[in-house]
């Protein structure tokens, strides 16, 4: 059918800045959906607010563009009422782990069959470059002109600790891997988290002397490595890419269905 079928061309040109990584995520996601052979009518995309969240406007799935930080709460409601549909939730790092951090950890804990995509550009892009919980110590932002002293955390470690049954990381440089892990995440039955390191040349790049979009992507190439690689053993500061968790566990909607059956038995 071709990925074009999934796009709402009437909403183009998109709002992303030249070089923004979010368009690469959109491209990888479209290919993942096409490879699986999903029909657009079978997909619900729920997003909050942010440059990343704007992705839902460009796709001709069933889409809900909701409230900053609450996309997973809305998605949980949709999935509970229509469990046969495929739920995709693209979020920014602020959206998912700052204001939305509470929803994020509890969605991981429930193991509801939703794919959460964290588009991590380490900044609040849409609102003008404030630092996020993933900016990291030593970075600069419009709200940290003399340096950010907040440590960041590891999205993969948080997702695993909170109970997500599929957890992966890739970057906008590694488009083939990005597509593959999104495909695996969507096919996985349970709560899937895919962190994608994405560049914001306009704010994170400019404030941190990251250079052009391609310079920032070059950093994704040189500063990341496959899981448990020889390079990681030699340089522990490298960030690992790949699938960190892929396990089976009871899925929330199915468990809930069993409860309904039990409660209504004999009526």
Ligand X SMILES: Cc1ncc(C[n+]2csc(CCOP(=O)(O)OP(=O)(O)O)c2C)c(N)n1
Residues pairing with 117 in the sheet: 90, 194
Residue 50 has phi, psi (to 5 degrees) of 155, 170
Residue 124 Cβ vs ligand SF4, minimum distance, rounded to whole Å:
9
Q: Is 95 in the site for ligand X (CB under 6 A)?
A: yes
DSSP state of 204: I
Q: Is 56 in the site for ligand X (CB under 6 A)?
A: no
| Segment interacting with ligand X, rule: CB under 6 A, options 123-131, 142-150, 188-196, 231-239 | 123-131
Q: Is 117 in the site for ligand SF4 (CB under 6 A)?
A: no
Q: Is 25 in the site for ligand X (CB under 6 A)?
A: no
Considering only residues 36 to 75 of the shown chain, the ones binding ligand SF4 according to CB under 6 A are 51
Instruction: Select from 7, 17, 36, 64 the one that contacts ligand SF4 (CB under 6 A).
Output: 17
Residue 93 Cβ vs ligand SF4, minimum distance, rounded to whole Å:
10
Intra-chain end-to-end CA distance of the chain, in Å = 46
Q: What SS3 class is residue 220?
A: helix
Residues pairing with 194 in the sheet: 117, 168
The sign of the torsion formed by the CA atoms of 98, 33, 35, 18 equals negative
| Segment interacting with ligand X, rule: CB under 6 A, options 38-46, 75-83, 91-99, 143-151 | 91-99
Closer to Mg ion by Cβ: residue 111 or 172: 172
User: In degrees, to the nearest 5, what angle opens at C-alpha 221 toward C-alphas 215 and 223?
Assistant: 95
When CB distances to ligand SF4 are compared, the closest residue is: 125
Closer to ligand SF4 by Cβ: residue 209 or 230: 209
When CB distances to ligand X are compared, the closest residue is: 92
Q: Is 121 in the site for Mg ion (CB under 5 A)?
A: yes
Residue 28 has phi, psi (to 5 degrees) of -65, -40
Considering only residues 81 to 100 of the shown chain, the ones binding Mg ion according to CB under 5 A are 92-93
DSSP state of 166: E
The answer to whether the beta carbons of residues 162 and 240 sit under 8 Å apart is no
10 Å CB burial of residue 108 (0-12, 13-18, 19+) is buried
Contact residues toward ligand SF4 (CB under 6 A) are: 16-17, 20, 22, 51, 121, 125-126, 200-203
């Amino acid at each position: 059918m071709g990925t074009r079928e999934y796009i709402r061309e009437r909403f183009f040109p998109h709002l992303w800045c030249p070089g923004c990584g979010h368009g690469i995520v959109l491209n990888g996601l479209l290919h993942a959906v096409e490879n699986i052979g999903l029909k657009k009518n079978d997909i619900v995309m729920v997003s909050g607010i942010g440059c990343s969240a704007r992705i839902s406007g460009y796709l001709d799935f069933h889409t809900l563009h909701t409230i900053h930080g609450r996309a997973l709460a809305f998605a949980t409601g949709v999935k509970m009422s229509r469990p046969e549909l495929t739920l995709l939730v693209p979020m920014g790092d602020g959206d998912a782990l700052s204001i939305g951090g509470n929803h994020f950890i509890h969605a991981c804990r429930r193991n509801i069959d939703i794919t959460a995509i964290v588009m991590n550009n380490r900044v609040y892009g849409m609102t003008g470059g404030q630092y996020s919980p993933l900016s990291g110590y030593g970075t600069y932002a419009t709200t940290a002109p003399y340096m950010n002293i907040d440590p960041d955390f590891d999205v993969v470690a948080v997702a695993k600790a909170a109970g997500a049954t599929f957890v992966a990381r890739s970057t906008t440089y590694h488009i083939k891997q990005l597509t593959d892990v999104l495909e695996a995440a969507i096919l996985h039955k349970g709560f899937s988290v895919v962190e994608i390191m994405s560049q914001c040349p306009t704010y994170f790049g400019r404030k941190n002397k990251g250079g052009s979009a391609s310079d920032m992507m070059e950093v994704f190439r040189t500063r990341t490595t496959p899981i448990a690689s020889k390079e990681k053993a030699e340089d522990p500061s490298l960030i690992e890419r790949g699938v960190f968790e892929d396990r089976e566990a009871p899925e929330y909607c199915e468990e809930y269905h069993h409860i309904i059956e039990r409660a209504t038995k004999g009526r």
